[in-house]
Amino acid sequence: MNLEESKIAIIGLGYVGLPLAVAFANKYKVIGFDINIERIDELNLGHDRTLEVEDGLLNSVLDTDNGKPVGLHVCANKEAIKKCNIFIVTVPTPTDRHNRPVLTPMIKSSEIIGGVLKKGDIVIYESTVYPGVTEDEMVPILEKVSGMRFNQDFYCGYSPERINPGDKEHTVTKILKVTSGSTAEIAEVVDQLYKSIIIAGTHKAPSIKVAEAAKVIENSQRDINIAFINELSKIFNLMGIDTAEVLEAAGTKWNFLSFKPGLVGGHCIGVDPYYLAQKAQEIGYHSEIILAGRRLNDSMGKHVASETIKLMIKKGISIQHSKILILGFTFKEDCPDFRNTRVIDIIKELLTYDVKIEVVDPWANSEEVLNEYGILINNEIVKNNSFDAAILAVGHQKFKKIKFSNVMNDKAVIYDVKGVLDKDIIDGRL
């Protein structure tokens, strides 16, 4: 395959797919496909609502009439990807309400690709999965729909995404990329393809399953480490010890791992461990540490709400009908992404106490939050409002500038989940 003449189809134009498509579009002809017509219309107007790609950068590669030798053409038309010979799948891999992996987006994408697959084409998956999904789950779909044979007529690769939403420093081309292919020759092609745009370089894994496993343990490891720190924060709180001060002291040792307590949400760390645990269960092994970490991290929202209520009671604040301000709804700071946000756990627990809640987030789209969670949020604190408690749940820069004396009652409680507020003004923190 002559990479310089390749046409690339990116299936899924979200937080992962769009930055990747833009990066490739500087050197290749790229067709970005997404089933969300509203998303396609928005991108064709030169704007990315996820804010992962700046409008200027998007417009610099956008090819609205699909007539340039290189550049990005975005559409919701399956026919447009027929002439492509490399297909990269970047759709999400969520879990259901029982925390079981949902492969439906990958399956649907594979069916679409199977319908246009040609001899010699390569299908590369970037979605986070458990080891074996590409070859054991997706390849049979590609074979069935296309009528072709794997590793004879078409080939596959796996190169896990490592996007960090909202991070403007570690962008897609600046993060070392793991690559793999279904044969030694294809592995080299896939590696050279990514190497042509990834400034940080690549690591060619010996097999697709190794690459899949490497990705799923990255976030599982972080999840377990954060769970350990979250457990420590609960213990130290009972002992009257400041967790932040303990971590600062322990962090003076050169090999101490730096993690902080907090809510663990988002579409990666809070989800990926379940994929590995599910596969382990299928082969007869019951995961202990992975699931224990998940259970502990999933309990933190309820813990924050409970601690806030306790502090209010200690101050003699009547709980019923009290007004509580929740600062932040996205899953991380200075980012509009609220997928799998665990702030919702704080809200749900507080509502059991019959309190009134105002949620403020300057980054989240209020209409999308309402549609997804049925919760009304404001982008700014409503004027002339006074609260009995405030919980800083997300460390947006804007929140650090709030003058709490202007919006809080005299003996109100301030609870800092992120540890970003002045210690003198808060009543509690993780």
Kindly list the catalytic residues: 268
DSSP 64: T
DSSP 413: E
Kindly report the CA angle at 273 between 227 and 430, in degrees rounded to 5?
20
Are the CB atoms for 42 and 2 separated by under 8 Å?
no
Per the DSSP assignment, residues forming a β-bridge with 413 are 389
Residue type, 391: I
Kindly report the CA angle at 194 between 48 and 6, in degrees rounded to 5?
85
Q: Tokens 């009972």, residue?
A: 238
| Phi, psi dihedrals of residue 72, rounded to the nearest 5° | -110, 125
Structure tokens at 319: 């709980």
Our CA dihedral for 79, 173, 223, 13, rounded to 10 degrees, sits at: -20
Given phi > 0 = left and psi -120 to 50 = alpha, else beta, which region is 71? left
Q: Nearest-CA neighbor of 9 among 70, 60, 82? A: 82
Report the first-to-last Cα separation within the chain, whole angstroms. Answer: 54
Q: In the 3-class helix/strand/coil scheme, how is 94-137 assigned residue by residue?
A: CECCCCCECCHHHHHHHHHHHCCCCCCCEEEECCCCCCCHHHHH
Number of other residues whose CB lies within 10 A of the CB of residue 140: 12
Structure tokens at 164: 């960090």
